[in-house]
Structure 1
Amino acid sequence: MWKTRSKLLFTAGIGLSGVILLQMGMYGGHIAFGWDLNFNVFQICRQLLHAFGIDYLVDGLTWLVALTFAVAGWLAVRQCIATRKAFLRLDSMRNQQMTEQLGARYEKLGSRIWVIDYDKPAAFTMGLLSPKIVLSSRLLSMLDREEEAAVVYHEAYHMLHYDPLKTWLLQMCSSLLFYVPVLRHILEHYKTAREILADNEAINRTGTPAGIGSALLKLLRNPSRGAPNPLMTAVCSSFAETSINYRISRILDPHQALVPKLPRRPVMISLYVLSLLSILFALALI
């Protein structure tokens, strides 16, 4: 169920964003290179604005498209720089001896696990194309072997499925298309679904929910929030930053279901935007 829900959320978020951004790209090509467009929402908007004599908004429409792609490029470059800086800083904090010991215990993950000297409990997966698992020495000192294994297998799920990259793509789309607010809520529900799937992986690999449950409880009692963040603005999948209370209650009662609740106002705004786009498409066919 959670795997299907996760796929649907990701497909919905990327699909909706992709259609809008594709239409923007086609319109941008028309403005910059004179591409011939037959059915393009933004071109229709341009024609309607001319027809109603609101010419000053035409430039605004063009600027919206240009600014969207400029911001997209800036966000991509910023994320790459932030990730590189974060890895360099984490590398300088790496405890080589503990890293080798942990790599030996989890041979299949090997060099993709880093242990850093950090005085706050932390566990996360970071990296867009070559993600790594990062655990703090403070966290490992708090956990027994069963809890440690649960945390490692949880993060291994994020690493093997490139969750930081997928989360970042949805995050960027929700930022670029802020006027479709349902994308923000799709992102939040997607992050929760991925954490639950990673918890399930840890339970399956260790054979018991005890390890993941007690690790979450320990992190809840010893939060790392407010501590200096070694990650800057790099996107990562963090072990205890998403829906931790729900995840604990779900481990205690595996049969409970999370019913996604989307706030009415963002949904109505998104439906209004999508309805307007649909009407414009219909007008193009007349």
Structure 2
Amino acid sequence: MRMVFGLVLLVGIALAGGAVYMAKNYIDRYEAALAAERAQQPEQIPLTEVYVAKTRLEYGDTLRREDVQAIRWPEEWVPEGAFLAEADDLFSEEGRRLVLRTMETHEPILAPKVTGPGEQGGLTMRIARGMRAFAIKVDVASGVSGFLRPGDRVDVYWTGRVDAPDANRGEVTKLIQTGIELVAVDQQADSSDLSGTTIARTVTVAATPQQVAALAQAQSTGRLSLSLVGANDDTVSQAVQVDQMGLLGIAPPPEPEAVPEKEDCTIRTRRGSEVVNIEIPCTN
């Protein structure tokens, strides 16, 4: 009986040792596989929550809490002007914000695209300090065939006749302003809401008071045409002026030579009560 008990005990110890050995091997393999999997995973990036548009937001819409949602965003790549959920400064008791530029779904809410709390939206929010808005009449030709958008820059040309005694060269076209920014096309101040081409009747530019005076004078005395400046063009246009005769290569007529006036040389003499003029040779 004792031999049977001892044999059973030995068998039990052997089985327990085998189980421990197998479990250890399994755990070692699991840890090795887990370490290999962790090595293949990319490095963990710190994230933060940023407010984004839940649906498409149009220009002039009132921004409400149900229109936005917070999503996790890499801290290192948070766009400048984004509203963080932890700061909770997108909504304020001072008033609601208005949308200044169209935003698509899941696009981050940025400060330049919304007004301040309680501020009114509209064109006045897009005019920088010291600048003024001025409307220019355009048509399909002078308005670059409808390809103008708010935010574009244009050169302004004036065409008309110069009222001057020596101005006998027909109409003149001259570059009068360069790099003027458009802030609105007709009554639309948001470029993303304009699809295709729109034949505008007026465009509104942002200009200094001196430029406004020049544009007003030019518009009342002639015709204004706009020339679209490329988005990446940082060159400064030089003075440009073209007249009809120069365009056609016609030389101006020569000025007539001055004809010297005939000089009369006389002397006056008195004969009694009569005064007589007598011609004599002229001498220098």
Place the TM-score, normalised by the shorter chain, in its bin: under 0.3
Greater strand content: 2
Relative to its length, the structure with more helix (as a share) is 1
Q: Which has the higher contact order (CA 8 A, sep 6+)?
A: 1
